């Protein structure tokens, strides 16, 4: 009979397929490691529980980071992987507990998964991954013990599928007010959007980085972007998409590399690599780490969040207009005055 452990494993195998999976940074294409295993191979190599395997602990740390700070549409997958990497160490004990207490093993395993999820959701955000693993496993054992000690062997009538959270239930994080302009001085949201895009374009032009942005714009206009990664647009923005039927909006982070080296990430917070490493060990580091072999990297989006930098949504037309104004010699100060007049008139 199917139980919660089997349901989770089957769910992950279905999501990951038979192709290679990257448990380092979440994306095979952007990972510096040359060789990647299938999920089945990866799962067979991981040794958690009481193991002191450095490779397994580093992989667990990356999986925890991806489940907490990865792309929103993929977090549920990495949480299920985290659970699935732990369940092999409960199989023998759950069978023994069921036999000794005359309980259905499926009920005990469901209680364990509930214990794992409860520990995950209630753990402090800064809990180090190794400590989190210990808390989750301890809570799983406690949940199973609590079930058999309750004295009832009734079976839950709900499907074990209820323990698999749906990513659609997650709340999107609230956006901070724009750090580029004072939105309180702009009456028209459309003008606000255009000003923001033009400011970004002017900044990119002054930095000599506009060619990179133009390449991204060409990819968007040619329809070469995976639309699942496109930011959602507000009803007021639909008017800019109905002509060609495409959403061309993108986030500023799309112009940046996906990951940054650990030492560089630490320096943005005024920390040395040694100081950041100590903070990572005691769980007080404000950003999480991904491991690619022996190399530590940090998600740029996660670092932006830590630094309070808004990942603004812009339109290619606005960014290019801002760049062209700088190239034409109008200058940044004139751009500011023109945008102020347009936004408040």
DSSP 202-215: HHHHHHT-HHHHHH
Domain stop point among 169, 197, 214? 169
pLDDT of 242: 52
- Number of independent structural domains in the chain: 3
> Across residues 32-61, what is the average pLDDT?
82
**What is the length of the chain?**
345
Residue 276 has pLDDT above 80, yes or no: yes
Whether 69 and 188 share a structural domain: no
Establish if 176 belongs to a structural domain: no
Domain stop point among 169, 200, 222? 169
Among the residue ranges 19-33, 141-155, 300-314, the one predicted with the least confidence is 141-155
Establish if 254 belongs to a structural domain: no
Q: Can you tell me the distance from the alpha carbon of 160 to that of 176, in angstroms, rounded to the nearest whole number?
A: 38
- CB of 133 within 8 A of CB of 60? yes
Instruction: Kindly indicate the confidence band of residue 316, based on its pLDDT and cuts at 50, 70 and 90.
Output: very high
Instruction: Kindly indicate the confidence band of residue 84, based on its pLDDT and cuts at 50, 70 and 90.
Output: very high
> Across residues 91-99, what is the average pLDDT?
89
Whether 207 and 281 share a structural domain: no
Whether 142 and 203 share a structural domain: no
Establish if 174 belongs to a structural domain: no
> Across residues 236-254, what is the average pLDDT?
74
Whether 30 and 129 share a structural domain: yes
Establish if 213 belongs to a structural domain: yes
pLDDT of 158: 46
Establish if 187 belongs to a structural domain: yes
Whether 36 and 155 share a structural domain: yes
CB contact set of 40 (below 8 Å; sequence gap of 6+): 13
Residue 325 in tokens: 């104004």
- CB of 259 within 8 A of CB of 296? no
> Across residues 170-192, what is the average pLDDT?
49
Establish if 177 belongs to a structural domain: no
Write the DSSP string, 256-324: S-SEEEHHHHHHHTT--HHHHHHHHHHT--SS--EEETTEEEEEHHHHHHHHT----EE-HHHHHHHHH
Name the nearest CA neighbour of 338 among 167, 259, 330: 330
Q: Can you tell me the distance from the alpha carbon of 58 to that of 49, in angstroms, rounded to the nearest whole number?
A: 13
Whole-structure pTM value:
0.64
- CB of 137 within 8 A of CB of 120? no
Maximum distance among all alpha carbons in the chain? Answer: 82
Whether 23 and 69 share a structural domain: yes
**Percentage above 90 pLDDT, the chain:** 22
Establish if 200 belongs to a structural domain: yes
Whether 148 and 269 share a structural domain: no
Of 27-31, 49-53, 318-322, which one has max mean pLDDT? 318-322
Q: What is the domain range of residue 291?
A: 259-307
Residue 151 has pLDDT above 70, yes or no: no
Higher pLDDT, 247 or 118: 118
> Across residues 227-236, what is the average pLDDT?
74
Residue 179 in tokens: 């750090």
Whether 11 and 156 share a structural domain: yes
pLDDT of 164: 40
What's the whole-number average pLDDT of the chain? 79
pLDDT of 69: 82
Instruction: Kindly indicate the confidence band of residue 196, based on its pLDDT and cuts at 50, 70 and 90.
Output: confident
- CB of 159 within 8 A of CB of 1? no
Establish if 21 belongs to a structural domain: yes
Q: Can you tell me the distance from the alpha carbon of 66 to that of 297, in angstroms, rounded to the nearest whole number?
A: 12
pLDDT of 50: 66
Residue 332 has pLDDT above 90, yes or no: no
pLDDT of 235: 67
pLDDT of 233: 72
Among the residue ranges 145-154, 203-212, 312-321, the one predicted with the least confidence is 145-154
Residue 336 has pLDDT above 80, yes or no: no
Residue 161 has pLDDT above 90, yes or no: no
Residue 281 has pLDDT above 70, yes or no: yes
> Across residues 80-107, what is the average pLDDT?
90
SS3 35: coil
Whether 150 and 201 share a structural domain: no
- CB of 299 within 8 A of CB of 32? no
CB contact set of 206 (below 8 Å; sequence gap of 6+): 326, 332
pLDDT of 130: 86
pLDDT of 321: 92
pLDDT of 1: 55
Q: How many CB atoms lie within 10 A of CB 81?
A: 26
Whether 33 and 101 share a structural domain: yes
Whether 115 and 213 share a structural domain: no
Q: Can you tell me the distance from the alpha carbon of 120 to that of 193, in angstroms, rounded to the nearest whole number?
A: 38
Whether 146 and 193 share a structural domain: no
pLDDT of 36: 87
Instruction: Kindly indicate the confidence band of residue 245, based on its pLDDT and cuts at 50, 70 and 90.
Output: low
């Amino acid at each position: 009979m199917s139980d919660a452990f089997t349901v989770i494993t089957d769910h992950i195998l279905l999501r990951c397929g038979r192709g290679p999976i990257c448990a380092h940074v979440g994306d095979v294409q952007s990972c510096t490691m040359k060789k990647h295993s299938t999920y089945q191979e990866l799962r067979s190599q991981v040794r958690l529980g009481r193991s002191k395997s450095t490779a397994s602990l580093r992989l667990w740390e990356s999986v925890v980071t991806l489940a907490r700070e990865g792309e929103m549409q993929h977090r549920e997958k990495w949480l299920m992987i985290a659970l699935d990497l732990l369940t092999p160490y409960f199989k023998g004990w759950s069978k023994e507990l069921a036999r000794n207490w005359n309980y259905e093993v499926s009920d005990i395993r469901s209680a364990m998964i509930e214990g794992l999820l409860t520990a995950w959701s209630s753990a402090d955000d800064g809990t180090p991954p190794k400590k989190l693993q210990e808390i989750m496993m301890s809570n799983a054992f406690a949940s199973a013990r609590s079930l058999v000690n309750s004295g009832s062997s009734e079976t839950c009538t709900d499907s074990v599928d209820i323990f698999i959270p749906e990513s659609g239930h997650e709340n999107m994080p609230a956006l901070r007010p724009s750090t580029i302009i004072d939105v309180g001085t702009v009456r028209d949201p459309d003008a606000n959007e255009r000003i923001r895009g033009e400011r970004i374009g002017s900044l990119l032009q002054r930095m000599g980085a506009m060619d990179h942005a133009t390449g991204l714009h060409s990819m968007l206009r040619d329809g070469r972007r995976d639309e699942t990664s496109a930011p959602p647009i507000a009803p007021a923005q639909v008017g800019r998409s109905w002509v060609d039927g495409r959403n061309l909006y993108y986030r500023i982070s799309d112009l940046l590399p996906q990951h940054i080296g650990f030492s560089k990430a630490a320096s943005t917070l005024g920390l040395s690599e040694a100081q950041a490493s100590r903070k990572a060990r005691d769980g007080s580091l404000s950003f999480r780490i991904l491991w690619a072999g022996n190399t530590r990297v940090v998600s740029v989006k996660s670092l932006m969040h830590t630094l309070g930098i808004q990942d603004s949504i812009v339109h290619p037309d606005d960014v290019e207009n801002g760049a062209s104004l700088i190239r034409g010699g109008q200058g940044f100060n004139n751009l500011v005055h023109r945008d102020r007049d347009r936004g408040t008139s």
